[in-house]
Amino acid sequence: MARPCPTGRHDEHNVYAENCPCRALLDLISNKWSALVIGMLDERSAVRFSELQAVLPGVGPKMLTQTLRRLEAASLVERTVYAEVPPRVEYTLSELGRSAAVPLGQIRAWAEEHIDQVEFLNRKWSEQN
């Protein structure tokens, strides 16, 4: 459903339109690692890179770095570097990131609540096809 652009920078906002910048934002926040990083940062106040890696098994350092950079570029995550030896870097959600955490949290909760049903129906479908 198209909406007029409130800032006038675009004709309209419509994620179904091929060239709408909303689609790139949707792609970013619907990415598995983005959604999990946003969720983890929502649950904790400030998190270091190594902590994120520890609580997100399966994400490699390169993918986590790319994800954090994309989220920071979109102003969803804030990166704070402390002048210490060794240097300490912490990641937190911005206000905009906290607003994205709400619907993403609902999607994670839905997935956790319905995974058994989906797996059962998937096996049933596979047997029939």
At residue 112, the pLDDT reads 94
CA dihedral 43, 45, 49, 52 (to 10 degrees): -10
Q: Is the pLDDT of residue 68 over 90?
A: yes
Q: Where are the domains of the chain?
A: 13-128
Q: Can you give the pLDDT at residue 124?
A: 92
What's the pLDDT score for residue 4? Answer: 75
Q: Does domain 13-128 have CATH number 1.25.40.10?
A: no
Residue type, 90: E
**CB distance 11 to 55 below 8 Å:** no
Q: pLDDT tens across 12-63, in order?
A: 788 888 888 888 899 999 999 999 999 999 999 899 999 999 999 999 999 9
pTM confidence score: 0.86
Report the pLDDT value the prediction gives residue 110, as an integer from 0 to 100: 96
Q: What sign does the CA torsion over 26, 74, 109, 60 have?
A: positive
Q: What pLDDT does 54 receive?
A: 96
Q: Taking 80 as the threshold, does the pLDDT of residue 1 lie above it? A: no
Question: Each residue of 69-126: pLDDT tens digit?
Answer: 999 999 999 999 999 888 899 999 999 999 999 999 999 999 999 999 999 999 999 9
